Amino acid sequence: MARPGAVIEVDRNTPPVLFHFGEGIRLEKLPLGARIVYPPDPLDPIAHPERAIKRALAKPMEDDPLKSLLRRGMKLTIAFDDLSLPLPPMAAPDVRQLVMEEVIDMAAEAGIEDLHIIAALGLHRRMTEDELRHIVGERIFSTFHPDRLYQHDGEDPENNVYIGKTAEGEDVTLSRRAAESDLVVYVNLTLVPMDGGHKSMSTGLASFRSIRAHHNAKTLLASRSYMNPPDSALHHSCIRQGQLIEDTVRVFHIETTVNNHAFPAIASFMQKRETDWTAQDQAMFLATKQMTDIAPVAFKRNVFHAMRAPYGLTSVQAGQVDAVHDQTLDAVRKQLTVRVEGQTDIVTLGVPYLGPYNVNSAMNPILVVCMGLGYLFNFYRNKPVLRKGGVLILTHPCRYEFDAVQHPSYIDYYDEVLADTTDPIEIEKKYEMRFAEDPWFRQLYRKSHAYHGIHPHYAWIWAAHAMEHAGDVIFVGADRDVVHRLGFKCATTLEDAFEMAEQTVGRYPSVTHLRMPPIMLADVE
């Protein structure tokens, strides 16, 4: 039986704890009395995923069975999430493939010929053919690609339509194909509470015009944890947009959840608590550490990015969006939640090699901030683990390293914008439209594999809440010039970082280490 998450107080017998340093790992000794918060063990997966999917489609929540909605001659569109989740990518078959295969088989039985499948990218980069094939499977890819399996283009003037404004004045746009369909079936994999629900349609099949309504500094500063939708102004905006879409287009939602079994057998020691390591786990840690200490960065990156996670399906639900998503969030929280008593002066986090926006590429400095301060910091409910004015300590090499194909606008954002100011609100006033409307960045987004020109700004402001909340942010083992450009402090060792933090929070601070990944959701009491 899977164990729940745990909060362990460090004493003299506590072994060193694992820290991620980008493409490296190491063990660090924490001060006596510090807390280590561990994620829950993976929940047992559903034994027969295909059966569970069939049941969900036959007995949906607050909607008719999918089979009864399908008819000959209709225009049917299936939309699905891109590769930004799950992380690491799921070992084949991806659960989205299993769901789409069932929907396609039902559509064929109904005699539907006008069927398109759209990867709901929003403003993310276009996937390569291999990345797309990995999600949908060979059968779907070879049958539908490229004419009827393709990727959403948020900058295509002909294939995006204006839906209207919400009661709060938020513009809503949508893929023309989806807007003109008799039925849209949205297939989602929800790994974290931030995703799914109304957000799927209102961002995945949208354009900059509607995404900017909630991806802005004011909204994100008003979002007290993106991982708890009731406290997130971002989600309130997505819900308003999604409700307008649901009034316009007939949508049938299918959401799945998986456990947090994030590492294959060769790296299973990273899944476990250090007290549970076997002799084999210790040997694999030492071998991995030796490799990451001496191997070239490109080699290490290729090794880690080749990992496929053996996630297991834990739930599947279908039907009306709100009913479906409520049950989805319950399943996600059941896997991720760890109860934590009170806040602390210092929080330490190891930032891994991978985030939602650098699959198969380098994690550039802006994405390091996005991952550490934007995502990992925000994995909480009620209130942050770090007290207001406390110190956040992150471990990552934070090199000046950019993927020119995936992240071209990030380079200009780092070199020009962050050299001018790091303030999210000031940046937005001065630079938002320049990056959003740049014709070269727009072309690279549409025709290559680049993130939209505005995306580095979204990655940066994702950290706005953490930057406002923390009294100091210290990076350990990072490039000093890079960290100073980002507006933070730098320490050579973790011990040095603790000494620096005491200047902000005082002597004998309380310390909490969030031992991620695997990910978890701290329910702070």
Per-residue pLDDT tens over the stretch 34-49: 999 999 999 999 999 9
Q: What is the mean pLDDT of residues 374-397?
A: 97
Give the DSSP letter string of 142-180.
HHHTTTTEEE--TT-SSSEEEEEE-TT--EEEEEHHHHT
Per-residue pLDDT tens over the stretch 58-99: 999 999 999 999 999 999 999 999 999 999 999 999 999 999
Angstrom distance (rounded) from CA 126 to CA 448: 7
pLDDT at 225: 87
Angstrom distance (rounded) from CA 451 to CA 358: 10
Q: Per-residue pLDDT for 250 more than 70?
A: yes
- Fill in the DSSP letter of residue 84: T
Angstrom distance (rounded) from CA 127 to CA 278: 39
Q: Which of 306, 403, 343 is nearest to 524 (CA)?
A: 343
Structure tokens, 242: 């999604």
| Element containing residue 119 per DSSP (H, E) | strand 114-120
Angstrom distance (rounded) from CA 344 to CA 35: 9
| Domains along the chain with CATH numbers | 6-41+336-524 (3.90.226.30), 49-258 (3.40.50.11440)
For the chain, the first-to-last Cα distance in angstroms comes to 26
pLDDT at 2: 79
In contact, 122 and 85? CB cutoff 8 Å? no
pLDDT at 224: 84
pLDDT category of residue 180 using cuts at 50, 70 and 90: very high
Structure tokens, 368: 């390091």
